[in-house]
Chain A
């Protein structure tokens, strides 16, 4: 349980946040740049002192201005993975990894170096210095270093933001492994919705130094009123799905979800693997009946539940397909032409190729992760 009620003035900017949520899996702090996410996580870590408030994790008070409690960072036992890695340049990778571990009393060491080195694939670079590592390797070492301090919680401040896409894809599966195999709670700061959808269970929406909403990622991303914060371009729904079968001839994988079956480009996972699947609103088209001949493989029957009221040429519609929530973005013109209203029955058309590797995240608790793909 993470409880955080803090106030902090930073020049003209004021942070006034109230967060209370369970710390299972990954809790994402999401907001645009300059909304105070990093300040919040720094207050959690003890690197920034709130003007007023209280911070507690699982009943342990870290900060309480009324009681005069302010644990210094070294006594908070929170691992911190910084955006820029912050590896110590004068130490080898091994010395970096051991820096925090050495300061943990032996009987409290539940995470061991061999385990972390294997988990993060660092065998080959232990004797090297940070200067000679690639960006992805640096972030993996930073992850390992924070982990080996045996923290009660891991803080990550945009750990992928300074990496290019291939490096991001390299590091992401490792974060999923931490979450699933070590069961260590993580607070993850990001302004990237795809990352959050792939990794996080709970989302804290931050805007202008305030907490706008706290809840499950699927719930918050499908709320119309939060659309201005969660972002139009990335708007979409997260769907729990299961690998139902493979079509080797065409290189397709069939995914079963509450509303039926979806065909997507092949993913090398055994039948039965549970996945979370993100489908962006702009990848969903609507028709009143199933088009007789079309290239679109996925035609899902659905009912319109909600229609966005934003004053612009595009409209977002919330659809219900057998209990699963979908979003579709169409033009206002099409909305009028088709005469759609809440309650209308429609067919949601989803291009198979719109479901890419990046939109698939492993559901927590599964034994494999997507990085095992060949």
Chain B
């Protein structure tokens, strides 16, 4: 097995960290939004739905720039974050995670919403008649039944986050060791005159990583389904 160069190790671990944080932080929000869209009727539902899907249709650079406007030092959210926690997101790996999370959000919500809509509500009613409060019903019936959808949503979001480029480079820039994730490192290598061999190695690494994520999701989803059908 070929060993990785320090540059590759750095890009790989950074990408993993960014993608994992992106998925971990957006998972609960995604679940809430999926539940709102699937189960609730409220004013502004169409607007929320459009907002969630926006990153799917906007050029990633536009999303990155919008994030910069919102979360920059002078942006409304950026100023708030800085005054409350002393945190500044642009040009940090946390900022890269945010950009990746926003870009992956529609995929995650979509998968979760579909699986939530497929949950038989009559089973939830049955659980209520057996003495379970709505929150208990959600935890013991709804959540386990939509678990395959949550896994699929998380893996899709993870894979999407690994490959995020446009929004990340716009919002978090290309800082070695901080925001230079795999795709950005690859882009940098292609830009340099003698980086072709190294670029090929990174490409191979990306392919392996993505395939591993896909395989993992397949195995997990199959296992969950098997558990369901016993």
Contact = CB atoms under 8 A, between A and B. Distances in A.
Do they bind each other? Answer: yes
A129 B230 contact: yes
B131 A103 contact: yes
A72 B229 contact: no
B141 A88 contact: yes
B129 A79 contact: yes
A82 B128 CA distance: 13
Given A89-B145, A90-B227, A132-B230, A82 B122 contact: yes
A46 B125 CA distance: 10
Contacts of B189: none
A99 B229 contact: no
Interface string A97-126: 001100110000000000000000000000
Interface in B187-230: 227-230
Contacts of B36: none
Interface in B119-144: 120, 122-123, 125-133, 136, 140-141, 144
Given A89-B229, A131-B230, A132-B230, A80 B126 contact: yes
A302 B136 CA distance: 62
Interface in A139-186: 145-146, 149
A73 B129 contact: yes
Nearest to A142: B126
Contacts of B127: 88, 99
Q: Is the interface of A mostly helix, strand, loop or mixed?
A: loop
A80 B128 CA distance: 10
A264 B132 CA distance: 49
A130 B228 CA distance: 9
A81 to B, nearest CB: 10
30 contacts: A46-B128, A47-B128, A47-B129, A72-B133, A73-B129, A74-B128, A74-B131, A74-B132, A75-B131, A77-B131, A79-B130, A80-B129, A82-B126, A86-B120, A86-B122, A86-B125, A88-B127, A90-B144, A90-B228, A99-B127, A99-B140, A100-B131, A103-B130, A103-B136, A129-B228, A131-B229, A132-B230, A146-B129, A146-B130, A149-B130
Interface of A: 45-47, 72-80, 82, 84, 86, 88-90, 92, 99-100, 103-104, 128-132, 145-146, 149
Interface of B: 120, 122-123, 125-133, 136, 140-141, 144-145, 227-230
